Amino acid sequence: MSVKPLEISVIITTYNRQDLLKRALLSVLNQTHMPKQIIVIDDGSSDETRKMVQYDFPDIEYIYQKNSGISAARNRGIQVARYPWIAFLDSDDEWNPKKLEEQQAALSQSPTCRICHTDEIWIRKGRRVNPKNKHLKSGGYIFEKCLPLCVISPSAVLIHRELFEHHGLFDEKMPVCEDYDMWLRICAHQDVFYIEKKLVIKYGGHADQLSHRHWGMDRFRIYSLEKILKFGRLNTEQQLATLSELEKKLRIYIAGARKRDKNSEIKIFSEKYKRVNIQLQKINSQFLTK
């Protein structure tokens, strides 16, 4: 019995990366399982991105928007995507030619699964590097593994659009760590299919990476952890794990703020730290009395 091919929309967001974008687009066009739709969301580029896409890739859908950030760009792509499965590709990354084919085959064996990701190769400043153990990928119910840092790369994901309908779009208040926030919301309730093959090449170390623009990245993760505790419908074990990670991140962030003499930050986050410790003590006491 033949398996019905997945109908996929690919969303590539970009900002002033016309040369890198061309490499990313070619890696999509070289897929052995071709997507039904390829969308470029140009988040306000001032270089020759528009001209390059429209001249070299006339069949690809190009949408320009005023610079609004990565979350708004991805959300725009989701809104204009016409097909049920969505794949993201950051404009500085590229895919192995069999990336979508492998995900199609994997999901055909697990028809109820709605999110699939793969392993990846890391290139930093032109050299291949090995990820640390904390970055190791996995599948199943991985919510607790998502708490310390982002363990799913947007460029490696194939996701059914119904998950965005259930859990919401990317948080446009977050200039970075928006993927961390999204996977927390989804993985609290959804199992993840993991393909242990390096089907994505992620490039890093260039100056325009978003992570280079913001001091104290954990403050965005703290915001996300606070949000999921409030709205995430977590069970008791998930609440405890989330509070424990939040306590740890607050402690580290406050120490960093002290080194930089950021007194207003110290005050705000110290109050958060006190409240989290009270919540932790309350939940732990409930466990002890059971």
Fill in the amino acid letter for 7: E
- Cα 231 to Cα 169, 188, 287: the distances in Å are 14, 11, 22
The predicted structure's pLDDT at residue 256: 93
pLDDT-derived band at 286 (thresholds 50, 70, 90) equals confident
Options 2.60.40.1220, 3.30.200.20, 3.40.50.300, 3.90.550.10; CATH of 8-212: 3.90.550.10
Mean pLDDT, the chain, rounded, equals: 94
Radius of gyration of the chain (CA): 20
Above 50 in pLDDT, residue 142? yes
pLDDT at position 181: 98
Using the predicted structure, report yes or no on whether residue 36 has a pLDDT greater than 60. Answer: yes
3-state secondary structure the chain: CCCCCCCEEEEEEECCCHHHHHHHHHHHHCCCCCCCEEEEEECCCCCCHHHHHHHHCCCCEEEECCCCCHHHHHHHHHHHCCCCEEEEEECCCEECCCHHHHHHHHHHCCCCCCEEEEEEEEEECCEEECCCHHHCCCCECCHHHHCCCCCCCHHHCEEECHHHHHHCCCCCCCCCCHHHHHHHHHHCCCCEEEEEEEEEEEEECCCCCHHHCCCCCHHHHHHHHHHHHHHCCCCHHHHHHHHHHHHHHHHHHHHHHHHCCCHHHHHHHHHHHHHHHHHHHHHHHHHHHC
Measured from the Cβ of residue 112, the count of other Cβ atoms closer than 10 Å reads 6
Q: Answer whether residue 2 shows pLDDT above 60.
A: no
pLDDT at 216 over 60: yes
**Average pLDDT, stretch 157-171?**
98
pLDDT at 211 over 60: no
Domain ranges of the chain: 8-212, 218-289
What's the pLDDT score for residue 1? 45
pLDDT over 80 at 11, yes or no = yes
Q: How confident is the model at residue 213 (pLDDT cuts 50, 70, 90)?
A: low
pLDDT tops 80 at residue 184: yes
- From the number of C-beta atoms within 10 Å of its C-beta (0-12, 13-18, 19+), residue 208 rates as exposed
Rounded Cα distance, 216 and 285, in Å: 32
Q: Check pLDDT > 60 for residue 159.
A: yes
Length of the chain in terms of residues written? 290
For residue 79, pLDDT beyond 70: yes
Per-residue pLDDT, averaged over 24-44, amounts to: 98
